[in-house]
């Protein structure tokens, strides 16, 4: 599978976007709520490139969601962003985007050099109050939140980690595309919780038991490392 749109911002007509990370949404039940807060979440790209774009999704949301500031940057020490790497995203040229129930929105491209297995920090600020956000449940990745608009902040100061296992879902984001340096094919992994990296928990709402959170231990991550090591143009 390869994204079909030709790119802008100086790219030649033959260049194509490729999905470097994706996690389809499953529900919005008991999801994290936000009110004048910034949510920072981490995704790991399986392909490098010279530019990125992000897709937001409110597929399972019952109400519109407005995001007032959306930024991406290279993740360092989980919640921190590498100095100078933060980029504000726009949607059809506007920094504020509203997602209707069931709708998605693709950001405008931004220049950012990324590598395969690069961890990317995505910061979403919502001034309003929203609950039951559409999500990919159980990301096996820590979720961080801060009061007010901290999307542009590169340090992790003011962010709190959410440690409840079932709350650590990917919220409102379902795909990151890159502009690869060479034509790239994309492999999609279909499967169950094993493919997804879902870990066992003790009891109904217990703590994680013997798992590696935020360490990219899903089997598609191992496949991506092998493809990168073999220098194959496959995401």
Mean pLDDT of the chain: 89
Residue 231 has pLDDT above 80, yes or no: yes
Residue 25 has pLDDT above 90, yes or no: yes
Q: Give the pLDDT confidence of 49-99 residue by residue, as tens digits.
A: 999 999 999 999 999 999 999 999 999 988 999 999 999 999 999 999 999
Whole-model pTM over 0.95: no
Q: How confident is the model at residue 234 (pLDDT cuts 50, 70, 90)?
A: very high
Q: How confident is the model at residue 200 (pLDDT cuts 50, 70, 90)?
A: low
Q: How confident is the model at residue 206 (pLDDT cuts 50, 70, 90)?
A: very low
68: CB partners within 8 A, 6+ apart? 95, 96, 125, 126, 127, 149
Q: Which of 23, 235, 230 is nearest to 117 (CA)?
A: 235
pLDDT recorded at residue 77 = 86
Give the mean model confidence (pLDDT) for residues 199-215: 57
Give the mean model confidence (pLDDT) for residues 184-208: 72
Q: What proportion of the chain, given as a percentage, has pLDDT over 90?
A: 73
pLDDT recorded at residue 105 = 98
Instruction: Name the residue with higher pLDDT: 11 or 130.
Output: 130
């Amino acid at each position: 599978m390869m994204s079909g749109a030709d790119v802008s911002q100086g790219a030649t007509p033959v260049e194509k976007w490729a999905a470097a990370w994706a996690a389809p949404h499953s529900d919005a039940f008991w999801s994290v709520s936000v009110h004048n807060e910034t949510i920072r979440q981490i995704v790991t790209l399986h392909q490098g490139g010279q530019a990125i774009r992000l897709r937001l999704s409110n597929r399972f949301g019952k109400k519109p969601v407005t995001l007032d500031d959306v930024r991406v940057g290279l993740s360092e020490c989980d919640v921190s962003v590498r100095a100078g790497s933060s980029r504000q995203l726009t949607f059809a040229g506007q920094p504020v985007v509203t997602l209707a129930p069931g709708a998605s929105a693709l950001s405008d491209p931004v220049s950012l050099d990324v590598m395969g297995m690069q961890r990317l920090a995505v910061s979403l600020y919502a001034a309003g109050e929203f609950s039951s956000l559409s999500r990919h449940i159980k990301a096996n990745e820590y979720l961080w939140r801060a009061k007010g608009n901290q999307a542009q902040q590169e340090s992790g100061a003011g962010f709190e980690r959410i440690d409840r296992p079932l709350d650590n879902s990917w919220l409102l984001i379902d795909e990151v595309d890159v502009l690869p340096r060479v034509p790239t094919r994309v492999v999609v992994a279909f499967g169950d919780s094993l493919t997804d990296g879902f870990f066992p928990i003790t009891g109904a709402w217990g703590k994680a038991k013997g798992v590696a959170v935020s360490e990219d231990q899903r089997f598609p991550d191992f496949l991506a490392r092998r493809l990168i090591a073999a220098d194959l143009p496959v995401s």
